[in-house]
Amino acid sequence: MGMFDHFRPNPDIGCPVCGQADLEWRGTDGPCALFVWFQGHAAPIDQMASDESRISQDRRDSFRLPARFEIYADCRCATCVAAVGVTKHDVWTQTELLNPLNAVAYPYESQPEFQQRLGFLAERSGDAGRMRR
């Protein structure tokens, strides 16, 4: 397993299928240093690494998320949940479930594959794709 970061949307986003809250959100669009990001903050609030592997808080405070990033969680009901985070002025300000309106093609994805994924997201999204603030 590769490195990733941990994410805590605020308010929390539960599983759109079963409603389970407190999902463990992870993502690889950030620095991937086991940082803990909390919505409403510009820098990571913690790092889930051993004491000898942690970087100083001063250095950690210099890291930022990209303007748009995706995060993922596995629910107990066997649903893989995906969400999109948005930053403004370097602060993580919004999170919404991944849906056809906010999906972008991945670099490795052909146009037909992207269209197929959009169809899948359209089936799953319904009301679950509303913006979370």
pLDDT in tens, 86-133: 999 999 999 999 999 999 999 999 999 999 999 999 988 764 443 333
pLDDT at 63 over 80: yes
Q: What is the mean pLDDT of the chain?
A: 92
55, 28 contact by CB (below 8 A): no
Total domain count, the chain: 1
What pLDDT shows up at residue 124? Answer: 80
pTM over 0.75: yes
Confidence of residue 68 (pLDDT cuts 50, 70, 90): very high
Confidence of residue 73 (pLDDT cuts 50, 70, 90): very high
What pLDDT shows up at residue 107? Answer: 94
Question: Model confidence over 6-36: pLDDT tens digits?
Answer: 999 999 999 999 999 999 999 999 999 999 9
Contacts within 8 Å (CB) and 24+ apart, 95-101: 95/9, 95/13, 95/39, 95/71, 95/132, 96/129, 96/130, 96/131, 96/132, 97/13, 97/16, 97/125, 97/128, 97/129, 97/130, 97/132, 98/70, 98/129, 99/125, 99/128, 99/129, 100/125, 100/129, 101/129
**DSSP reduced 3-state for 10:** coil
What pLDDT shows up at residue 48? Answer: 96
Range of the domain at 85: 5-132
